[in-house]
Structure 1
Amino acid sequence: MRNKIPVATGGAITATVFAPDKPRAVLVVHPATATPQGFYAAFAGYLAENGIATVTYDYRGTGLSGSPRDHRDLGMRDWIGVDAPAVAAWAAERFPGLPRLAVGHSLGGHVIALGAAGPDLAASVIVASHIAAVRTIPSRLERIRVRVMLHVLGPALGRLLGYVPASRLGLGEDLPATAMTEWGGWARMDNYFFDDPSMRAAERAATLTGPVLAVGTSDDPWSTPVQMDALTGHLTSANVERRTYTPAAGGVPMIGHHGLMRRPMRDRVWPELLAWLHAHAEKASR
C-alpha cells in the first residue's frame, strides 16, 4: 500500500508498506542513491511474509517522491537528515509498540551510521555501505569512470538541465542537481563526509547504539570490505558484526554492489539476515 508522508521543509515522500496480519516488528528500508523503492519490493515482501512490517520509500526528488527538477536544491544531507527520519517516525507511529528495525543500502547505510534512522532501534543492518571516496575504488578504470560521472558530466548536466539524467549515465534514477554536486564533493575528500565539518559525521556516528550487522560482498567494485570497515569503525558506541559474502556463497557468478538485495539471494542470504533481525527484535520485545 502506498502512502504520502509530508515533510516539514516541503514536499512529500512516497512510501510503500508491506505488512503481515500480525507483525512482530517494523522495519524501514533506506535506499541507495538513485535506486527506486521498487528495487527492494522482493526483499520487503520476503520480510513481511516472515512477520516484519516493512516500509520502502524514495527520497524526495527521486522515483515516486517527485521530479528531480522540482527538487533541484535538495542535497544528500537533506535525504539523510530530513527524509529518512521522517519515514522512520511515520513507520513508528503506524506500527506503535513494535520493535523498530532498519536496513540501509549504500547511502541508506550512511543514514543508519549517522544516527538518522530513528531512535531506539532494536537492530540495524548496513548493506554495501562504505567510505565512498573515489580514491578508495580499487580499479583504476572504475575510478576514472566514476570521476567523469561525479565530477564532470553529472555537475555539468545538473547546471544545464536543473537535474541530472542519471538513468542515461548508467547511475540509476535521475537525481536533483544539488544531490549530485554534494555527492561529487564528498567523493573528492579522503574520508568522504567525515571530512566535511558541516556534517558532524564522526560525532553523529558515535551516537548510534545497539546491534549493527554490516554486510558486503567480496566482488563489490566500490564498497570493499576494507572501506566498509572504515565506515563502521566510526560506530564507536554500537556493537558491530561484519559479514562478507562471496558469489560462491550466494550461488551466483557475481553479486556486486546491489546484488545482496536482489531476488537470487532469497534462499542463500536473506534467511540469515531475517534470523538476525528476528533474534534482536525478540530481545527488544521482552
Structure 2
Amino acid sequence: MSTKKTGTSVNFEPQPIVLTALDGFLLSGTLFMPPGAIVTSPPSTPSHDVPGHAQSATYKEQIDPLTKVVIISSATATIQDFYYKFAFYLSQELGMIVVTYDNRGVGRSMPGNEQLSILKSATEQHASAFTDQSLPAPLPPKFTTLQIGESSDTAAKSKKNKKNPLIGFEATIVDWSLQDLPGVFNFVLKHFPHNPTMFVGHSVGGHILPAIDAYYTRNLERCLYVSVTSAYWRHMNSSLFTYWFFYMASPIVNARYGYYPGKTLWNSMEDLPKGCFETWSHWGSFRNYMLGGNPEWKPNFELFKVPIYSLYFTDDDFSSTSAPIIMDLIPNTLRRCVGLDPVEDLNMKKVGHMGFFFNSCKQKLWKTAVKSWFVDGHALDRETIKQRAALESSYARL
C-alpha cells in the first residue's frame, strides 16, 4: 500500500481494513481518513540549509504539517464500533487519520473469520485506498444466511446448534498487548512511516500500551488515557461484589460455557475468550494490577517516556479514584492525571466509565480537552476544562 504525497487528497467513508498481529492472527479494523489534503511525506531540507545538523535530521517545521494518525485501543469486551463517533470527530473535524480495531476474540476479530481472510486477499490484489485514483479498499462479499437448497427452518436450527467460535479459543489480554497492539502499530508504521502518531487508550486499552516494545511506538507523540483505572478488587467501588464477580461467580460461568458470555448475561459487554477474562481477574488480585500479574513488564513500563494525559470521572461505576495509581506505574514519563466530577465540572448527569465516547461529551470534552491535547499539546487542568466546557456549551446554544 503506497501513501499519498504532500498536498493530495482522499475522500471516502470509513473503510474496513485487516490488521495482522505479530503471530499472524487477523484483526478487524477501520480506517477513517480526513477530508481534503493529507500530508504523509515531509519536505526534504538540504543539510547545507541548516548548518550544524546531520543530513538525516528531522526538523520541527517538517513534522508540524504532517497529518497526525490516531490509534484507538478499546476497553475490555468493547467493540471498535463503540468509538465510531469519536473517531469520526477526530478525522472529520480535527483532520486526523484514525485507526480503530477489535482485539482478538472480540467483535469481528473472531477466530476463523473467513471474511477477514477474503478482505485481506482482496486488498492485496486490488488498488489500495491510497492510489492516485483514490479508490476505497474493496469490501468483503456479503454472504446470505441460506445456502443453496437450504430451508429457513433448517438454517434456523443450524444457527441454534452452531457452537460459539470462542469455545476452545486460546487468547489472553497478554496477547492483546504483545501480539495485537504491535500489529496495529505495524500497520501505521508501514503506511504512514513519517507521520506523528497519537494514542487513545480506554480502560485496558491504556493498561497494555507501555508493555510493548519501543520499536513499535517510535513515532508515538502523545497519549490520551480515558478511564484507565485499576481493577484491583479492593480499589473497585463495590469491592465485595467485584470479589464475588471475579473469583466466585465468573469461574463457574467460564467452566459452563467455555468462554465468558458477557453479551448474554449482562447485555452491556461483549463475549470474551475464557483466557482474557481470566487475565482480567488475575490482574485484579494484585494491588499493582497489570504489573502484579505480569511483573516482567516492569522494565518496559519504566522505559516508557511518551507523555500521557489521563482523564477519569468521579462517577465511574468501576473505580472512581484509582487512575493516579495506574499513572504511578509509569514513572518516567511526563503525565497529568485529571479527575472530573460530571455534575460539578461539566453540568452533566453522568459520564461514568464509558460515557466519554458518547456524542453528549463532544462539546464539553472533545472540543476542549481532546482538541487542546492533540492539536496544541496542552493538557488542561480541571478548572480550565470546567471553564472551556461552559464556554463551548454557550457556543452550542447560539
**1:232–1:115 distance in 2 versus 1, CA, 3 Å:** farther
Residue of structure 1 in register with 2:278 after alignment? 181
Distance in 1 (alpha carbons) for counterparts of 2:87 and 2:221: 18
Scaled by the length of structure 1, what TM-score is found? 0.89
Scaled by the length of structure 2, what TM-score is found? 0.65
Aligned equivalent of 2:72, options 24, 29, 38: 29
TM-superposed deviation, 1:159: 2.4
Alignment of 1:108-119 (within 5 A): 108-115=205-212, 118-119=217-218
User: Over the residues paired in the alignment, what is the CA RMSD in angstroms?
Assistant: 2.0
Residue of structure 1 in register with 2:330 after alignment? 235
Aligned equivalent of 1:152, options 214, 236, 248: 248
TM-superposed deviation, 1:54: 0.8
TM-superposed deviation, 1:169: 2.9
Give the gaps of 5 or more residues in structure 1.
282-286
Residue of structure 1 in register with 2:223 after alignment? 124
TM-superposed deviation, 1:156: 2.2
Q: Is the 8 A contact 1:26 1:98 kept in 2?
A: yes
Residue of structure 2 in register with 1:284 after alignment? none
Distance in 1 (alpha carbons) for counterparts of 2:102 and 2:250: 20
TM-superposed deviation, 1:112: 2.5
Q: Deviations over 1:122-163 (max 9, x none)?
A: 10111111222011113xxx3233333322332222223221
Alignment of 1:1-286 (within 5 A): 1-21=15-35, 22-23=37-38, 24-49=67-92, 50-66=94-110, 69=166, 72-115=169-212, 118-138=217-237, 142-170=238-266, 172-196=269-293, 198-225=294-321, 227-248=322-343, 249-271=345-367, 272-280=369-377
Between the aligned residues of both structures, percent identity stands at 25
Q: Is the 8 A contact 2:178 2:212 kept in 1?
A: no
Larger Rg: 2
Q: Is the 8 A contact 2:21 2:181 kept in 1?
A: no
TM-superposed deviation, 1:168: 2.4
Amino acid at match of 1:39: F
Give the gaps of 5 or more residues in structure 2.
1-14, 39-66, 112-164, 379-398
> In the comparison of the two structures, how many residue pairs are matched?
276
> RCO greater where, 1 or 2, for CA within 8 Å and sep 6 or more?
1
Q: Is the 8 A contact 1:250 1:265 kept in 2?
A: no
Amino acid at match of 1:123: R
- Secondary structure at the aligned position of 2:317 is classed as coil
Q: Is the 8 A contact 2:72 2:101 kept in 1?
A: yes
Amino acid at match of 1:56: T
